[in-house]
Amino acid sequence: MRAPSEQDVAAGEVLLSVENVSLAFGGVKAISGVSLDIRRGEIRAIIGPNGAGKTSMLNIINGFYQPQHGRIAFKGRERSRMRPYDAAHGGIARTFQNVALFKGMTALDNIMVGRTLKMRRGMLWQLLRVGPAVREEVEHRRQVEEIIDFLKIQSIRKVPVGKLPYGLQKRVELGRALAMEPDLLLLDEPMAGMNLEEKEDMSRFILDVNEHYGTTVALIEHDIGVVMDLSDRVMVLDHGVKIADGTPDEVQSNQAVIDAYLGVAH
Amino acid sequence: MEALGPVLETLIGGLLTGVLYALVALGFVLIFKASGVFNFAQGAMVLFAALSFARLAEFMPLIVAFALAVVIMIALAYAIELLVLRHLVNQEGIILFMATLGIAYFLEGFGQTVWGSDIYKINLGLPTNPIFILESVFPGGLLIDPAELIAAVICAVMVLGLAIFFQVTRVGRALRAVADDHQAAQSVGIPLDYIWLMVWAVAGLVALVAGMMWGAKLGVQFSLSLVALKALPVLILGGFTSIPGAIVGGLIIGASEKLAEVFLAPVLVRTFDLAGGGIENWFAYVLALLFLLVRPQGLFGERIIERV
């Protein structure tokens, strides 16, 4: 289905490859034999109608779901069974469709939690609050402040996130994922429920993350306009099956995609 | 000054009992902190731990029995994580609560199946002769039960250790994260299974110590699991998420119910010509109820945040 394109040639090595993966819940097939590759440095979109299996795909990539069939290799290493902890450890960060923040904590603390895996000093050091442990905490805090500046959320850093409007919550969630310094950033509908202005801001942040930090991004999004503007390559799922994969232009002109979105005359 | 003697004596007795309440409440706090769930099984864990210890102690030195009981409680925590909690990741709090309900009744029954359902004694070899203090100030001095005093000291040490442990910023943040959102916590690399194993194991150890102390006081039998009910008003006062809160709440409940029993009850009986007594059994709950109306998050609990 996918024709070689300019993007393919220009893009970097394969960061993540999913081969012929199938996932079923009981008798319900969520994903059937889908292959997907994500190249280092690109913005990769997964689109499709509701129930197409997009979120299931992300859940497979970061270890929430274990597919029944297929192979997955991340950074060239194939894995049989991976827990979310391993995925996070390997450099995969993500956000969620319905914002999953730690509601009682401030924006700052939420983002600090993203540094969990980066904290290396033992607990005893942290207890004593001396030397290296203090320096480490300060260093993490500095990096978190950098992310806060980048996302322009300085004014809300001490606000419990439960009190923030939805658009800002999404931004804090992105901040938490960025705090992990991920190699691969998975975004599950980063613009859902946003107004036009918020969508533009979020698009800007995603592009900046991709350009400045060189972070590879894989995202799910319903707003087709946004997807086509942002992405280097787009995969289209429908009922758990891949129906198209390629550059935005290729995908847009694909008859199967048009049918899936607009319906076919029977 | 002399009139103060009985008040002080009652107060001290109440505070010492309060420490024991605090110990039971602590087990609840630990698990609530790491999963946002009220662990209905805490009382059953106290019973199970006390039964294990009491029966093992019949065959071996106390210290060996204690070590084995520790191993049993850690194994129990591991089994609970592996067989129950692991499969309930990202479920609603009420589902987890129902699971602890199941664990509670299983543990109560299973414990008695394995260890027997008679009343067993725990003899920790604590001194039993009462101590009298401040004899120069008060005629006859103030009476203190040494066993309760020792229990209070042990409890204080445990509480201090736990408070320090959770003071570690990384651990504290990770626990709060897990309690707030399982999947989000996992996605940033917090090992959920390990965290749950850890807190259930620590809660098991707290249950063991509480079971030994209460068991030595009341004897080990089914009703020991009801001690957990006294932890409820303590938690409401102190807040479900606060270790210092469990201590302060325990002390307040312990002291106030004793004072109420000794000084308020006779007044009530005389004034209203009542049949009398028993105020100790319900006073704590009334206190908790009143407190709920004023400050539902407890003295030290996190503010409850609601978006409006």
Using the Cβ of A246 and the Cβ atoms of chain B, whether some distance falls under 8 Å is answered with: no
State which of A149, A181, A213 marks the end of a domain.
A181
CA distance B66 to B54: 9
pLDDT value, residue B304: 57
Chain A CB contacts of B306 under 8 Å are 162
Instruction: List Cβ neighbours of B205 (8 Å cut-off, separation of 6 or more).
Output: B70, B73, B74
For residue B37, is pLDDT > 70? yes
Instruction: List Cβ neighbours of B225 (8 Å cut-off, separation of 6 or more).
Output: B43, B44, B46, B47, B104, B108
Long-range contacts of B6-12 (CB under 8 A, 24+ apart): B6/B262, B7/B259, B7/B263, B8/B138, B8/B142, B9/B142, B9/B143, B10/B258, B10/B259, B10/B262, B10/B263, B11/B255, B11/B258, B11/B259, B12/B142, B12/B144
* pLDDT tens-digit readout, B243-289: 888 889 999 999 998 888 888 888 888 888 777 667 878 888 998 99
Note whether A141 and A198 are same-domain residues.
no
Note whether A196 and A66 are same-domain residues.
yes
Note whether A142 and A131 are same-domain residues.
yes
Strand, helix or coil for residue A228: helix
Residue A97: inside a domain: no
Residue B274: inside a domain: no
pLDDT value, residue B308: 43
For residue B12, is pLDDT > 80? yes
Nearest Cβ partner for B167 among A88, A105, A127: A127
Q: Which domain holds residue A191?
A: 1-91+184-266
Residue in this structure with the two tokens 């938690």, named with its chain if needed: B235
CATH assignment at residue A60: 3.40.50.300
Q: Count CB pairs under 8 A between chains A and B.
A: 92
Q: Token pair for residue A184? A: 């691969």
* pLDDT tens-digit readout, A186-223: 999 999 888 899 999 999 999 999 998 899 999 998 88
For residue B203, is pLDDT > 50? yes
Note whether A212 and A106 are same-domain residues.
no
Q: Which residues pair with A37 in a beta bridge?
A: A17
- The ipTM (two decimal places) reads 0.83
Note whether A200 and A118 are same-domain residues.
no
CA distance B198 to chain A (A): 14
pLDDT value, residue B114: 93
pLDDT band for position B303 (cuts 50, 70, 90): low
For residue B213, is pLDDT > 50? yes
Note whether A79 and A197 are same-domain residues.
yes
pLDDT value, residue B151: 81
Note whether A175 and A192 are same-domain residues.
no
State which of A181, A207, A236 marks the end of a domain.
A181
In the predicted model, residues of chain A with pLDDT beneath 50 are 1-11
Task: Tell me how many domains chain B contains.
Answer: 1
Task: Tell me how many domains chain A contains.
Answer: 2
B178, B192 contact by CB (below 8 A): yes
Q: DSSP for A237-254?
A: EETTEEEEEE-HHHHHT-
Nearest Cβ partner for B187 among A62, A119, A126: A62
When pLDDT is averaged across residues B54-71 and rounded to a whole number, the result is 94
B59, B235 contact by CB (below 8 A): no
Nearest-Cα residue of chain A relative to residue B304: A104
pLDDT value, residue A265: 63
Using the Cβ of A159 and the Cβ atoms of chain B, whether some distance falls under 8 Å is answered with: no
Residue A96: inside a domain: no
Q: Which domain holds residue B207?
A: 4-227
Q: Do A163 and B305 touch (CB under 8 A)?
A: yes
Residue B43: inside a domain: yes
Q: Tell me which of A177-191, A223-237, B82-96, B118-132 is least confident.
A: B118-132
For residue B138, is pLDDT > 80? no
State which of A122, A157, A181 marks the end of a domain.
A181
